[in-house]
Amino acid sequence: MNSSLQTGIFPAAFKTAVVKPLLKKTNSDPSIFNNYRPVSNLPFLSKVLEKLVFIQLNEFLSQNNIFEINQSGFRTNHSTETALLKIVNDVRCALDSGQISVLVLLDLSAAFDTVDHLILVNRLKSLGLSGTVLKWFESYLMERNFMVSMDTHFSGVHEINCGVPQGSILGPLLFNIYMLPLGNVIRTHNISFHSYADDTQLYIAMSPDDTRPIEALFNCILDVKLWMANNFLQLNQDKTEILVIGPEAKREKQFLKLQELSLSHSETVRNLGVIFDSKLTFIPHIKQVVKTGFYHLKNLARVRPLLSLANMEMLMHAFIMSKVDYCNALLSGLPKTNIRNLQLLQNSAARVLTKTRRRAHITPILKSLHWLPICFRIDFKILLTVFKCLNGLAPSYLSDLLVKYEPSRTLRSSGTGLLTIPTVK
C-alpha cells in the first residue's frame, strides 16, 4: 500500500469488480433493467487502500472549505434528515409569511456510471491535486474492469471507460467533486437548492399572485440539463417531479403557469424516503409508514412464540421502529391527530413484544421497554439536533439557523445558553 501511494499506481489486481444488479425497490418490475442498481463488489484490500486515501482527501476538502455547502451526501455529520430539515424549515418559513413554494426533484439516470474520467481528473487538478497524488487518482480511475454476477453465473470481463464504482469507498466522494460546479449554475438563477449525492432538488418561494419565479425556475432547469449534458450526465425529465406547497386556493395560478411551460405537478412526491404532500401535513407519509409497519408486525407476531424477548426486540427495531424514527424530526409541530396512528403502531408493537393483552394500559409497558412515546421521540430528535448544532456536530446550514439570545442589558439569564425564539405569525 505504501508502494502504491509513493509511486502513484493503483494495483491492477484491485481494479476488477464483480457487479451484482440489485433491485432499487422490492416491488419494482424485475424485467425492466432500469429498476436495477449495479453494486460493485471489490477486493477487500482495495477498500483498505481506498480508505487511507479517502481520509486524507476528505480532510483536505474539509479544511479548505471545498465541499458544496448544500451537498449532504456521504459527508460527516450530514444525513438525509439534516437535508430535509433545512428544506422543510425554508418552506415552512415561506408559508408563515404568506408565500407558497415550488419544489422540483431532479432525477438523474445512472449518474455514477456516466462520470467522465478526464473531466473528473481535471476537477481534481483544479482543486490543487498534482504530481504523484493526481497520478494515483488517474491510475485508480483508468483501465478498470468488471464482470456481472447473477446467482451462480458470471459474465466475461469487460473494460470500463467511464463512471466511478458503486460500492467503493472513494466513489461517492469523487462523485461529489464531479458535481461541484452544479451549485454555481443554480445560484446564477437565484434558486434555492439542496443535494444528496445524485439527488438534487430546487425550490423557490413566491407570492401567490407572482408567477415570474416559475419562469426563473424553468430556465434554471434548462441550464442544469445543459450542464449535465456537457458533463455526460443525463437528466431524466420524465421522472423529474414538481410539488407546489401551500393552501389550495393560492396554488391555482402556479398550476396554470406550470402548464404553460409544459411542466406537470404532483400532489405528493417521495423525497429521500419521505413522502411530501402539497400542504406539508406528512399525512400520506405517516399512512405509508403505518401500513408498512403493521404488515411487518403481523408477520413478526407469527414467529413471536419462537423467539426470546431480546431477539424479538431486535427485529421490532429493525423492521418497525427504525421506519417510525426515520426523519421523524420533520413531524415536529404537527397536530397530535396527525401522529396518532404512529402511536397506535408503537403500542401494538409493544404488546406483541411483551405478549400483553390488547386492553392492558400501555404506559407501564412502554416504560418497561424504555420506549419513549412517539411525540417524545420526535422532541428528543429535535433536542438532539439542536445539541449537535451547538457543539459543531451538525451541518453549518442548520447551525446557522440557531441564534443565541443576547439581552440588551445584563440579566441573570445572560450566559445561560438560551436561544432566540423566531417570531411567527
With a pLDDT cut of 90, the percent of the chain lying above it is: 71
Residue 38 has pLDDT above 60, yes or no: yes
Find the radius of gyration of the CA atoms of the chain. Answer: 24
241 with 352, same domain: the answer is no
CA atoms of 255 and 354, how far apart (whole Å): 51
289 with 241, same domain: the answer is no
204 with 273, same domain: the answer is yes
Q: What is the DSSP string of 64-130?
A: TT-S-TTB-TT-TT--HHHHHHHHHHHHHHHHHTT-EEEEEEE-EESGGGG--HHHHHHHHHHTT--
**Boundary (domain end) residue, out of 277, 312, 328:** 277
Residue 131, amino acid: G
Q: Is 98 left (phi over 0), alpha (psi -120 to 50) or beta?
A: left
CA atoms of 256 and 266, how far apart (whole Å): 14
315 with 264, same domain: the answer is no
CB contact at 8 A, 323 and 297: no
225 with 307, same domain: the answer is no
CB contact at 8 A, 88 and 103: no
CB contact at 8 A, 203 and 87: yes
C-alpha cell at position 146:
468488471
40 with 9, same domain: the answer is yes
296 with 256, same domain: the answer is no
Alpha helix locations (H) across 150-211? 171-178, 182-187
Q: What is the pLDDT of residue 57?
A: 96
263 with 344, same domain: the answer is no
Residue 184, amino acid: N
Q: List the one residue out of 210, 211, 284, 188 whose CA is nearest residue 202.
A: 188
Residue 91, amino acid: V
CA atoms of 171 and 163, how far apart (whole Å): 9
pLDDT in tens, 57-103: 999 999 999 999 999 999 999 999 999 999 999 999 999 999 999 99
Q: What is the pLDDT of residue 32?
A: 85
Q: List the one residue out of 159, 178, 175 whose CA is nearest residue 167.
A: 175
CB contact at 8 A, 242 and 264: yes
Alpha helix locations (H) across 231-361? 252-260, 283-303, 309-316, 322-325, 336-354
pLDDT in tens, 296-345: 999 999 999 999 999 999 999 999 999 999 999 999 999 999 999 999 99
Number of H helices, E strands in the chain: 16, 13
Mean pLDDT for 138-161 is: 89
Residue 411 has pLDDT above 80, yes or no: no
* Cβ partners under 8 Å of residue 383, min gap 6: none
In sequence order, the β-bridge partners of residue 271 are 274
Residue 294 has pLDDT above 60, yes or no: yes
- Tell me the whole-structure pTM to 2 decimals: 0.91
94 with 73, same domain: the answer is yes
**Domain at 161, CATH number:** 3.30.70.270
CA atoms of 376 and 359, how far apart (whole Å): 23
386 with 295, same domain: the answer is yes
Q: Phi then psi for 103, rounded to 5 degrees?
A: -115, 130
Q: List Cα–Cα distances, 424 to 94, 98, 112, 148, 421, in angstroms.
A: 11, 11, 42, 56, 9
- Counting the structural domains of the chain, the total is 2
- For the chain, the straight-line distance linking the first and the last C-alpha, in angstroms and rounded, comes to 60
* Cβ partners under 8 Å of residue 389, min gap 6: 398, 399, 401, 402
CA atoms of 405 and 418, how far apart (whole Å): 5
150 with 52, same domain: the answer is yes
260 with 286, same domain: the answer is no
Residue 256 has pLDDT above 90, yes or no: no
Q: Would strands 158-160 and 153-154 be described as parallel, antiparallel, or unpaired?
A: unpaired
CA atoms of 126 and 308, how far apart (whole Å): 57
Coil, strand, or helix at residue 399?
A: helix
Domain that holds residue 11: 1-277
Query: Minimum mean pLDDT among 29-43, 238-252, 334-348, 371-385: which range?
Result: 29-43
Residue 415 pLDDT class (50, 70, 90 cuts): low
**Boundary (domain end) residue, out of 223, 242, 277:** 277
pLDDT in tens, 169-192: 999 999 999 999 999 999 999 999
**Boundary (domain end) residue, out of 277, 309, 328:** 277
Q: List the one residue out of 84, 119, 94, 305 whose CA is nearest residue 207.
A: 94
